[in-house]
Amino acid sequence: MTGAASAPASQFLSPAQSIVPSAGESWFDWDVNRAIKSRTLGTGGLEVSALGLGCMGLSYHRSSTLTRDEAIALIRDAVDLGVTFFDTAQTYGPFTNEQLVGDALAPVRDQVVVATKFGETDADGRPALSSRPELIRQTTDGSLARLGVDTIDLLYQHRVDPGTPIEEVAGTVGDLIAEGKVRHFGLSEAGASTIRRAHAVQAVTAVQSEYSLWWRQPESEVLPACAELGIGFVPYSPLGRGFLTGGIDEHTTFDSGDNRNQLPRFTVEARRANQALVERLRTIGERTGATPAQLALAWLLARAPWIVPIPGTTKASRLEENLRAADVELTRDDLAEIDSAASEVPIVGDRYPAELARRTNL
């Protein structure tokens, strides 16, 4: 097991302190190949593109899933546009999303960083909130095979297992790192206390959690803990599961397999009320020349230099729109206006039903 040494980290930034580009600069440095400026997660030097790609929706939990060939083409488009950070998980399918990502990235595997997650399925793919050491080992071997690699770049615990001490989880992943099967350890939807306990055993490179203009709970304890310990932060659903793009309203219907059907924030009444935030973003965008999605992502990028959002999409046009988010030059006044809009518009609906909410921030 590898011990974790504390290291100086950038402070979490308040809106007034947000980093903004200087005149004439942008968040992305686009060269002829449109390479994306990189950021570093954690103190172990894990370098990734400033925006990653969340791959779940390509084959799981969304209305507009793609054929295998279409999904592979979109992932490879992302590579061509400079994305080097790709996120999947064992439970997406289960297992099929990992296989898809592994196949898509096989030709460029040495040029990209792939993150996956354990702890929500057993070795046969059945639902199981378990991080028993022997199960971590079994499922990690499965992930290695599906991804077609000898080493997983970043391995997250998907959800905290109340039945297994986090020290045992961290120690097991530390052993996998020592064996060369894993490079970096991460936690998903963990609370600050859990993060600290895990980091004391094995350095945590990144914490993944939902974080966006309409879900800001990580700001209270988790982001300050990451800043203190030198841990990177990876917001999933940075566009509010698509709502902050402006492409969803009260009239939108979702396929039966789309998990947004079960989320209180996506009832018809909630969507009708929550349009107020999108309209505020649209108004700001008319002045800055950015779409609501680009403003939401640029706001996140400005929060701290160790934050790397992973928006997902099934559309090539949306992919490029998202990646151009950091091209948007936002002044401090722009950022403060976006922050105010998010603070002033009351968001209707919880992000998860009670049963799923109980499995977060542990």
Q: What is the pLDDT of residue 35?
A: 60
Q: What is the tens place of the pLDDT at every residue in 15-68? A: 334 333 333 333 333 333 456 789 999 999 999 999 999 999 998 887 767 899
What separation in angstroms does the CA of 3 have from each of 196, 216, 282? 13, 31, 47
Angle CA(257)–CA(158)–CA(95) in degrees, nearest 5? 55
Could you say which DSSP state residue 195 is in? H
What pTM was computed for the model? 0.90
Q: What is the tens place of the pLDDT at every residue in 310-334? A: 999 999 999 999 999 978 888 999 9
* DSSP state string for 235-276: EESTTTTTGGGT---TT----TT-GGGG-GGGSHHHHHHHHH
Binning the chain into helix, strand and coil, the percentages to the nearest 5 are: 45, 15, 45
Taking 50 as the pLDDT cut, the residues of the chain under it are 1-33
**Domains contained in the chain, CATH given:** 15-357 (3.20.20.100)
Two tokens, residue 137: 């080992």
Annotated catalytic residue within 60, 92, 211, 352: 92
Q: Is 92 a catalytic residue?
A: yes
